[in-house]
């Protein structure tokens, strides 16, 4: 090999080593300390100790109805279990009423919010496989939110009842 090529390879190797070292140091600085649990899906995206429960975003809590489809309802609760909160939804245009929903069964979902991203995980009774929905949300005020479902580019507008 020619001397300039060897020098260039050596310089590139030093750059790669420096980048790897910087990433490793950043990872170590963000790692939880002993006794802490990192809950990346938590409402406020912070580190919680094992015995702490995060608080749900109070603006999300309550009963909401879709402004464009008045029969579609969602309720967000602050019941916290296994790293997420509970909620439920139903669509009266499909002849489904709130009283038809069995507790934590069909129509119920788990949710968490991180800044302006809302995650909902719906489970069907028969499969017990969660179906994830990810929304970009904008809370206009305490009675008005907009949700953009990222995967389907669907826009929903909800008002609080």
Each residue of 116-143: pLDDT tens digit?
999 999 887 666 788 889 999 999 999 9
Determine contact, residues 117/126, Cβ cutoff 8 Å.
Answer: no
Q: Residue 111 CA to chain centroid, in angstroms? A: 7
Q: Residue 4 CA to chain centroid, in angstroms? A: 51
| Residue range 103-124: mean pLDDT, rounded | 88
Q: Nearest Cα to 120, choosing from 160, 63, 66, 75?
A: 75
Q: Please tell me which residue, 63 or 29, carries the higher pLDDT value.
A: 63
64-to-100, 128, 146 alpha-carbon distances in Å: 18, 25, 11
């Amino acid at each position: 090999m020619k001397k300039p090529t060897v020098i260039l390879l050596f310089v590139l190797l030093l750059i790669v080593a420096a980048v790897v070292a910087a990433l490793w140091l950043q990872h170590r600085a963000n790692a939880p300390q002993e006794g802490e649990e990192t809950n990346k899906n938590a409402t406020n995206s912070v580190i919680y100790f094992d015995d702490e429960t995060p608080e749900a975003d109070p603006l999300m809590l309550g009963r909401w109805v879709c402004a464009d489809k008045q029969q579609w309802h969602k309720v967000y609760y602050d019941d916290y279990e296994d790293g997420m909160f509970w909620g439920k939804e139903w669509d009266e245009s499909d002849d489904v009423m709130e009283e038809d929903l069995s507790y934590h069964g069909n129509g119920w979902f788990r949710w968490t919010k991180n800044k302006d991203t809302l995650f909902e995980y719906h489970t069907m009774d028969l499969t017990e496989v969660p179906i994830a929905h990810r929304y970009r949300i904008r809370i206009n005020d305490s009675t008005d939110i907009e949700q953009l479902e990222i995967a389907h580019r669907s826009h929903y507008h909800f008002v609080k009842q």
